[in-house]
Amino acid sequence: MAAITLSNSTPVVTLSGVTSAYGTVSAVIGENAPVEAAIFGPANTHFNVTSTGTILSPGTSPFDAGIVLAAAGEVHNAGDITAPAGIFILGAAAGAYAGNTGTIHATAGCGIYFKSAGIIYNTGQISAAGTAIALAGGGTVIDKGGISGGSAGIVFADGFSNNLILDTGATVTGNIELYGTLALAGGGHGIFSLSQVQAASTIAIAAGSNWSFYGSVSGAPDIFNRGAITAPISGLGGPGETVGDGIDGGGAVYNYGSITGGIVIATAGRYVYNAGGIQGENGGPFAPKSTGIDLLGPGAVVNTGTISADIGVKLASSAALYNYGQIFGGVRSSGAATVFNYAGGTIKGGVKIAAGTISDYGLIAGRSGAIVFGKSATNLLAVGATATLSGGAELGGGGIELLAGPQPGSFTAASYTDFSALTIADAADWSVIGSLAASIAVTNDGTIGVPSGQNLTIAGALSGSGAVDLPGTLTLNGEVGAGQRLIFTGTAETLNLGAAKSFLGELESFAPGDTIDLTSLKFASITATHFSRGVLTIATDARHGYSFTFASPKSFHNDTFSLFADGTGTGITLAPAAALAELSKPAGWPADTHLPSAAAALSLVTLQP
């Protein structure tokens, strides 16, 4: 038997002094190897053992231990245990506990071994030639001291709810096979090698703690940070990595605290949620530029906090960014990516992606272009009414969609280059200023406004089911689809039509003082005119002519159409009949007959609606 066999009648035992002996006990471990121990507790009692002295075991087998409990029990070591193995608790039932404030030194085997689920709380020192701590039934290890293992630091069995909690003052030497959650806590500044941890499902950094990391996470654990993660003390050692990479792993990262050094995610399908602060750093003047968040595979970044680095966010092909917060350093992608910048979101440093979609409702600013796409006809920039663009946008041949919102938006064509299509979405209301080339197809399903004193030229086709308000000058040089409504909303507006034969839109609120200029129609070529049921027809010969549909023609009352040569083509105006009566016109010309010859082309001709 062991040097000391605990009595079943005394389940609570306190040891002091020196115990230096061992003997064979009835408990077994491993492949039925016999266990010898200095202290042994039989299987039929839950012992609570406290040692404040010294326990020595002169055995040489890794199964010779200082303390062995054959049933689930408790060991509190405040002294020193030196033996081939430290503490074995071999009961099959859960409930094992070992608390160490002293020293455990296992010269050949395991420092602490639990056969069933249990809890180990260490504020002292545990060292072992083999595994420092092994939990065959899973459980929890709380370390505020030092743990060192020759073959492994801490090994948990797979398939259990395992937890490892490390204080900032704790150290672990040797690999950690976790199969569970690593929690990093404490009020000081801890340093930890992430490469020690194998098969972690979650890493959680507690609020108020501060940790420096180095190494790479394996097993794609999710990381929850509510404290502070500072730049590592050395490089991560991976290809192309330098000092300043804060976290390098394959799982998701949820940051509610602060991270200095950035995040690299290698595994596809993972994402980063940042509600705190992320600051990128690099290793010096010759190191690569720092990155706040770098997704190396498809995944997503959701930012409601602040990201600041030389490059704020880098996205792999098929990755996405959802930004509600602030990003300094911009967004970059060498592939086809998706970027959403929501109202209140700020991206300074611009967004530059090889291809994909950018949806902007906030602020995007960049010195060399706020938005830059690579060449792709599938590129899409969707712009909300609340968006602000500082620096211009290059679409790479793609399209722009102006979205509906709670307020009207403003679009200045000169700020956008190399785009092939402009769409105003259903129910969207946008002021559009500038000139759109003939190569740009415009689809208007909402409302286009031309601000007072401003001009808009659409040289290409205009289609859709929307409306265009004209408190300024509008020039349409391409085809106009039947679904478009051209509304004269102010006074003295001008509508220039360069392809009048292809105009199928409807004219609304045309009033005295407004002008429709048919720039492609020579006044002298007009042979007849007719107005009936809201349609004005202008003929140039027996087979050709122009038709214009006016909404609510009864609103014209006694006004009169006037056609005249205006230097660029033919103008159409509307004026009260009384005013027109005072104008000089050839006598005897009926309102609905052939117009004058070319010699008299400048004469005024009127039509009664």
Nearest to 200 by CA among 232, 217, 178: 178
What's the rounded Cα separation, in Å, for the pair 164 and 558?
90
pLDDT of residue 244: 42
pLDDT in tens, 85-109: 999 999 888 999 999 999 999 999 9
Helices (H) and strands (E) in the chain, counts: 1, 71
CA distances from 436 to 216, 262, 330, 348, 472 (A): 52, 42, 29, 28, 16
Tokens coding 267: 């595994």
What count of other Cβ atoms lies within 10 Å of the Cβ of residue 92? 10
Length in residues, the chain: 609
CA distances from 123 to 16, 146, 173, 302, 579 (A): 20, 7, 15, 39, 102
pLDDT of residue 285: 54
Instruction: Please list the ranges in the chain whose pLDDT falls under 50.
Output: 1, 232-245, 578-604
pLDDT of residue 243: 38
pLDDT of residue 32: 66
pLDDT of residue 250: 66
CA atoms within 13 A on the CB side of 250: 12
What count of other Cβ atoms lies within 10 Å of the Cβ of residue 547? 14
Sign of CA dihedral 128, 129, 132, 133: negative
* C-beta separation of 246 from 223 below 8 A: no
What's the rounded Cα separation, in Å, for the pair 64 and 109?
8
Q: Strand, coil or helix: what is 347?
A: strand
pLDDT of residue 234: 31
Non-local (6+) Cβ contacts of 134 within 8 A are: 110, 112, 113, 114, 152, 154, 155
* C-beta separation of 306 from 277 below 8 A: yes
pLDDT of residue 261: 83
Phi and psi, residue 598, nearest 5°? -60, -35
pLDDT of residue 593: 44
Nearest to 12 by CA among 77, 62, 72, 73: 73
pTM of the model: 0.85
pLDDT of residue 534: 86
Which residue carries 């660029």 as its tokens?
A: 568
- CB burial string 253-279: b at 16+ within 10 A, e below: bbbbbbbbbbbbbbbeebbbbbbbbbb
Would you give the end-to-end CA distance of the chain in angstroms?
121
Nearest to 381 by CA among 352, 360, 412: 360
Q: Phi-psi region for residue 474, left (φ > 0), alpha (ψ -120 to 50) or beta? A: beta
CA distances from 580 to 553, 573, 596 (A): 19, 11, 17
What's the rounded Cα separation, in Å, for the pair 481 and 503?
7
Rg from Cα positions in the chain: 41
Q: Strand, coil or helix: what is 285?
A: coil
